[in-house]
Amino acid sequence: MNLYGDPPSDPWGSERRCRRCDALMVYNPLTLQFECTQSHEKLTIYEQNGHTDRTAYLESLAESYGVSFAAVKTAADILGEIEDFDSLITHLEDGEIVDREEEDLD
Ligand SMILES: [Zn+2]
């Protein structure tokens, strides 16, 4: 631990440490967040993965896989947040989440 050195370029690195007490944060599967055991700080799994929130994460998925945000959001809501980093990705990789713009309404 280096308390007086320069901060790393990546403030989180590969570990999740509380910015107040520097303790290793623990993942809470109930809240889907990394939390300081002293309740100083919480970090959502989206923040941990470099996105400001779930919407930003889903938008990045939509862009990565070339489908609309609406299609990703609909599938994500059906699967549930717990699957955002699991089966949602699998469905995207398998091409099972597609846009429905081609439906002819006339
Ligand atoms: Zn703390």
> What is the tens place of the pLDDT at every residue in 45-72?
898 888 999 999 999 999 999 999 999 9
pTM: 0.69
Ligand 1 centre and the CA of 18: distance in Å?
Answer: 5
Q: Report d(CA 7, CA 40) in Å as an integer.
A: 20
Adjacent-strand bridge partners of 26 = 35
Ligand 1 centre and the CA of 22: distance in Å?
Answer: 6
Ligand 1 centre and the CA of 13: distance in Å?
Answer: 17
Which residue, among 50, 57, 56, 52, has the nearest Cα to 85 in the 3D structure? Answer: 57
pLDDT digits (tens, 9 = 90+) for 30-39: 887 889 999 8
